[in-house]
Chains A and B, each alone.
Chain A
Amino acid sequence: MKKKGALEISFAWIFAVVIGAIILFIAIFASVKLIGIGETQMGAKAGKEIGILLNPLETGFESAKSVSFTMPVLSRIYGRCDNEGNFGRQLIEVSQQSFNKWTQTDLEVQFPNKYIFNEEYVEGKKFYVFSKPFNFPFKVADLIFLTSSEKEYCFVNAPEEIQREIKGISQKNMLVENCSLNSIKICFESDTGCLISVDYNGKSVQKSSEKVYFEDDALMYAAIFSDKEIYECQVQRLMKRVNELSKLYQDKISVISRSGCNSNLGPELDALSSLAKGVQSSANLGFALISTVKTIEEDNSYASECKLW
């Protein structure tokens, strides 16, 4: 006899509900995974595209160059540095905003021949990329400085040549006058309310409690626009390339000597190579290294017909 109040569900219904739930679970799981893959794909594609976009920034003989690019959605560009191997590598990861959440992608695109200086991440839709060649004493690489249009940098009391250069590249978020109240102030002479202080003669940049050292204007911009960790890592990578290029020019000396071109730069290049190899941080860009660079630069400029670079 049927019990009063008892719910009678046939086996067929239980079976359908269980299987239905499994199908729904699999469908939702697969959709979530596919959305994740899609986001990773978009991030990786954006990272690669940014890297490719930076190719024309390799300058020829221009002193500095600036371009901008706009992302379709609000994005965060993470530019990381790894100094392992012969040249180290530049890593780019892009995270985009979707439904008010930042997509998590662990896929980093790598470029061993690029040197991008930025903060931990640069956020915005429009980004500015400014590049400047780094010579030490020969051209080593084009340094790339990545900033967001949402941040304005104000160079207060900058030396004449820096002011001229900033005005020349006309990058909208780098100003020397008429700065807004929210701008990040970069002071070249002691001034109050500065986030970044540059000691142009002492060749150092102070950011909150951190201090880094630079050698030329390219490295000064690098120190201004990047975090200490990224800056120090990129300096080490640049020194690795200096080491390899010094060896390359040493090999070139023996090739051009067959054509009657004799150069006495061999021992100096050898010294530069070992000094560059020993650089562990920007504080090592000291007197010995700089004087070697200057001597090589002078000697090469005197070699009228047989210049190495």
Chain B
Amino acid sequence: MRVSANYGELGMPHKKQKMKTKGQVKTQQMAFMLLAITLFFVLVGLFAMVFGFAGIKESATALEEKNALLLVTKLANSPEFSCGNSFGTGNLNCIDGDKVISLMKNINKYENFWSKGVSNIEIRVIYPEKQEKLCSLGNYPDCNIIRVMSGNVSGYSAENFVSLCRKESNAGEVYNKCELAKLMVSYNEQ
């Protein structure tokens, strides 16, 4: 049996055209494949980065928490808060109420001074128990909450027990009065 093929008038063009189309398809396949591989690696990279950055945020939060805990333990001994020798021989974890209430006047100067992100510093008298009353220069010492820094609290807090001391007088005689208080430091999560 004789098989004949008709290539038309010019003989080869049909074959060439077929080959060209086949080549184009191959190139397109490769292009799609390369695109898919690129996309795959980009996605893997993005995934890895998201994980990596989540780690950074976690470690930053952990560091801030650690800082808050250590800060609250040493804040009472910093020169702006500590009693020094004003209430007898040096006391640790003793806050000078008279000094702290004076500090409130210029507290804007101390923004980010103790640590970046500290939004709230509060000293709350817990013993003897009284009705809650916020302190100001006007009503001090007839109050029990000294809010040294008052900002929004959206993060976490750390607290420590301290003695809050002040000068009082009775019949013209000056004496030291110390009460049990809680020092609270709050952070804003950034």
Residue from the list A52, A244, A308 in contact with B66, Cβ < 8 A: A52
* Contact A16 to B30, CB < 8 A, known contacts A138-B84, A245-B80, A259-B169: yes
Instruction: List chain A residues, Cβ under 8 A from B110.
Output: 86
Q: Is the CB of A15 within 8 A of B80?
A: no
Q: Rank and list the top 9 A-B pairs by shortest CB-CB distance, nearest first.
A: A251-B102, A309-B84, A55-B70, A260-B169, A61-B90, A58-B74, A259-B167, A60-B92, A307-B86
Instruction: List chain B residues, Cβ under 8 A from A27.
Output: 41
* 5 interchain pairs, CB-CB under 8 A: A26-B38, A34-B52, A138-B79, A141-B79, A259-B168
B190 to chain A, nearest CB (A): 13
Q: Complex Cα distance A37/B166, Å?
A: 51
Question: Per-residue CB proximity of A270-309 to B under 8 Å, as 1/0?
Answer: 0000000000000000000000000000000000011111
**B56 in contact (CB, < 8 A):** yes
**A140 in contact (CB, < 8 A):** yes
Residue from the list B63, B98, B113, B175 in contact with A87, Cβ < 8 A: B113
Q: Complex Cα distance A38/B49, Å?
A: 11
**B112 in contact (CB, < 8 A):** yes
Q: Is the CB of A52 within 8 A of B167?
A: no
* Contact A19 to B167, CB < 8 A, known contacts A138-B84, A255-B140: no
Interface size on B, residues (CB 8 A): 54
Residue from the list B26, B38, B90, B113 in contact with A23, Cβ < 8 A: B38
Instruction: List chain B residues, Cβ under 8 A from A71.
Output: none
Q: Complex Cα distance A180/B83, Å?
A: 44
Q: Is the CB of B174 within 8 A of A112?
A: no
Instruction: List chain B residues, Cβ under 8 A from A241.
Output: 79
Instruction: List chain B residues, Cβ under 8 A from A52.
Output: 63, 66-67, 70
Q: Is the CB of B86 within 8 A of A23?
A: no
From A34, A41, A49, A251, residue with most partner B Cβ within 10 Å: A251
B140 to chain A, nearest CB (A): 7
Q: Is the CB of A49 within 8 A of B167?
A: no
**Count of inter-chain pairs, beta carbons less than 8 A:** 124
**Who on chain A is nearest to B83 by CB?**
A309
Q: Is the CB of B31 within 8 A of A305?
A: no
Q: Complex Cα distance A38/B102, Å?
A: 45
Instruction: List chain A residues, Cβ under 8 A from B92.
Output: 60-61
Q: Complex Cα distance A231/B79, Å?
A: 21
Q: Is the CB of A307 within 8 A of B85?
A: yes
**Who on chain A is nearest to B71 by CB?**
A55
Q: Complex Cα distance A10/B27, Å?
A: 10
Interface residues of A (CB under 8 A from B): 10-12, 15-16, 19-20, 23, 26-27, 30, 34, 37-38, 41, 45, 48-49, 52, 55-56, 58-61, 86-87, 110, 112-113, 138-141, 241, 244-245, 247-249, 251-252, 254-256, 259-261, 305-309
Instruction: List chain B residues, Cβ under 8 A from A10.
Output: 23
* Contact A139 to B167, CB < 8 A, known contacts A12-B30, A27-B41: no
B19 to chain A, nearest CB (A): 11
Question: Per-residue CB proximity of B92-132 to A under 8 Å, as 1/0?
Answer: 10001011011101100110111010000000000000000
Q: Is the CB of A86 within 8 A of B109?
A: yes
Q: Is the CB of A60 within 8 A of B90?
A: yes
Q: Is the CB of A12 within 8 A of B23?
A: yes
**B37 in contact (CB, < 8 A):** yes
Q: Is the CB of B101 within 8 A of A255?
A: yes
Q: Is the CB of A256 within 8 A of B77?
A: no
B53 to chain A, nearest CB (A): 9
**Who on chain B is nearest to A55 by CB?**
B70
Q: Complex Cα distance A34/B102, Å?
A: 49
Instruction: List chain A residues, Cβ under 8 A from B38.
Output: 19, 23, 26
